[in-house]
Structure 1
């Protein structure tokens, strides 16, 4: 058997190629997992754009210098096992290479799942190294795997951003400004913020996405990027939550909003406009790293307390997203290596309908 993988040039994300390699035999303690399906969103572009800074390239290293594998969230099935606590046929949710298969080295296995104990992942964050058995996963439902793959990792980040801001008393601000307002992580955050008393949630987006953002019902106002200075006063205490990563937009925000109390960098969907912020007026932009807030709340609430809160919030959000009269998400499937390669290029280019949720498989149809 062979494994097909999508390789991406780390210094030029638009350059990709498909690579096939013969499978090596498993060693004691390893398992082989068929990667059945995964989501491909602007979140994965962020992983690639920040791959060096946040070590995302290290999860699934290649033997070819300069080429990387972008991690994705989705579902896989164990096809071969040399581990006593992981059975062939088990279905897993977790972090996969963009390929047809993955080899994992389970350790600390329990009823809920296990971590990958491969040596190259030892220094990487536990959140990304953990694999959940769908048979015991409280968030799992067989009838909405696609929605889970698309929104679950993004929503957990959204929920943690809202939780972090509330934990900090919103830095004394009553207004939250969210760029890339049509992106899934942004509207998940807006969904949570909209439930807070006394907080105004403003979505910033391009003209073509205004109607979509307004249809969601979780933004108090939606303003186009070109109109933000004329339509939003700058003196009101505000927090900027940056899902775009656009340097130009960040400079405009910091210049106009003299009342800016906190600047939170989350994503990098505008990869053509990334870079250092340089000298900015107002607060220094701070990168939000979701695992750090997970660790804090794990300490505050314990694993069960954190899990219970997340499950309740996820159930509420996923129900809203799938409302029959106004679905926020329409799933599109892409089958095979070439289709996945084309989809990556399209998502990288930022093209497409914000309603669309893309699920891919590298497995042939």
Structure 2
């Protein structure tokens, strides 16, 4: 049976420009290959970050489009094995992992165990390992069939939150008495704040968590209860300028970051760049003189360090414990929408790209349900 792949290509230099490509999948599979039908995936501002930093952090390299001007955005979701020419990977198995924004993916599983496999396709071997791992839902301690949508939406973001909070606790928040999180309504910021609230530095009142957000989202962020103080961007003058501070920037708005640095002049110990919720303003970061120089946080680096220190099992045990609490917390405020088909996927993509999604909403997308 002939199988075609539908995929979503975007211009690397103008993210709003998209094309839907349909192409045949080569059959039969080569020895060791497996064909996965991507059932569904989440789409959030985090995926916009992948596109915005596609060249800098090699996100475009995971799923090459074959066109130097276009890229395929990586997403997190679930896929089912529909053809296998690989021992120990069986038709019908379901895997959680990192997929292209497409209907199908051919992988070459290696390091196969009851827990899953690593895609060893040649072009992915030099890329961060954490993105090449595919988890078997039958043995995944975080998996619940009824909670797949929540897992797709929040697990990748929460994993970044987990690693980011761990990084700041490891470094004692760089001596900051005040830790400022921009784009405080973003899901990664929310997860980070919740984890930091559970840590010693915040619980012992050594570090004060401040969430900066838009005026429209201020009431929502306050209702979460995971920040000690919530300010709108227009209320920046109310931020304590006398406290030693650090900033975790999820917004990527260069002018905002410059304004914060000026307000906290002489008291700013560390600036951490995480996301680019305001992707169209990110270029404003380069010419601005911000002291200290902002440092880009790359979650896989912290993950690989902890995997070595804690072991793979130890890492996932800690993550699972933290996730169980966050799962309960997020169910109270997160509203999930499901959209199917090229037109609906395009509409959601443009909405998220434009920053028009509500912070309490999450999107699950799927191409055709046909194999």
Query: Cα deviations across residues 116-145 of structure 1 (Å, max 9, x unaligned)?
Result: 111111110000011000001111111100
Residue 137 of structure 1: aligned partner: 140
Residue 274 of structure 2: aligned partner: 266
1:133 and 1:125 map into 2 onto residues whose CA distance is 19
2:290 and 2:330 map into 1 onto residues whose CA distance is 37
The two structures have a TM-score, normalised by structure 1, of 0.96
Residue 42 of structure 2: aligned partner: 39
The two structures have a TM-score, normalised by structure 2, of 0.95
Matches within 5 A, 1:188-207: 188-196=191-199, 197=203, 198=205, 199-207=207-215
Contact 1:72 1:98 in 2 (8 A): yes
Residue 8 of structure 1: aligned partner: 10
Query: Cα deviations across residues 72-95 of structure 1 (Å, max 9, x unaligned)?
Result: 001010000010111000000000
Residue 21 of structure 1: aligned partner: 23
- The offset of 1:364, in angstroms, is 4.8
2:88 and 2:109 map into 1 onto residues whose CA distance is 9
SS at the partner of 2:96?
strand
Contact 2:74 2:101 in 1 (8 A): yes
SS at the partner of 2:217?
helix
1:304 and 1:97 map into 2 onto residues whose CA distance is 27
Residue 312 of structure 2: aligned partner: 303
Residue 286 of structure 1: aligned partner: 295
Contact 2:258 2:288 in 1 (8 A): no
1:37 and 1:222 map into 2 onto residues whose CA distance is 35
1:357 and 1:219 map into 2 onto residues whose CA distance is 21
1:82 and 1:281 map into 2 onto residues whose CA distance is 53
Residue 68 of structure 2: aligned partner: 65
Contact 1:60 1:71 in 2 (8 A): yes
Contact 1:251 1:277 in 2 (8 A): no
- The offset of 1:281, in angstroms, is 4.1
Unaligned runs of 5+ in 1: none
- The offset of 1:172, in angstroms, is 0.7
Aligned with 2:333 (options 319, 323, 328): 328
> Bigger shift: 100-109 or 195-204?
195-204
Could you say if the C-alpha distance between residues 18 and 345 of structure 1 is closer, same or farther in structure 2, counting changes exceeding 3 Å? same
Contact 2:12 2:71 in 1 (8 A): yes
Unaligned runs of 5+ in 2: none
- The offset of 1:280, in angstroms, is 2.4
Matches within 5 A, 1:12-161: 12-25=14-27, 26-161=29-164
SS at the partner of 2:364?
strand
2:171 and 2:211 map into 1 onto residues whose CA distance is 21
2:242 counterpart of 1:235: yes
Contact 1:255 1:280 in 2 (8 A): no
Contact 1:98 1:362 in 2 (8 A): no
After TM superposition, where is structure 1 displaced by more than 2 Å over at least 4 residues in a row? 276-282
Contact 1:69 1:97 in 2 (8 A): yes
Residue 172 of structure 2: aligned partner: 169
2:341 counterpart of 1:341: no
Contact 1:38 1:149 in 2 (8 A): yes
Residue 357 of structure 2: aligned partner: 352
SS at the partner of 1:109?
strand
2:276 and 2:32 map into 1 onto residues whose CA distance is 37
Contact 2:39 2:369 in 1 (8 A): no
2:148 and 2:253 map into 1 onto residues whose CA distance is 32
Contact 1:254 1:280 in 2 (8 A): no
Residue 226 of structure 1: aligned partner: 234
SS at the partner of 1:12?
coil
- The offset of 1:193, in angstroms, is 1.2
- The offset of 1:306, in angstroms, is 1.5
> What is the alpha-carbon root mean square deviation over aligned residues?
1.1
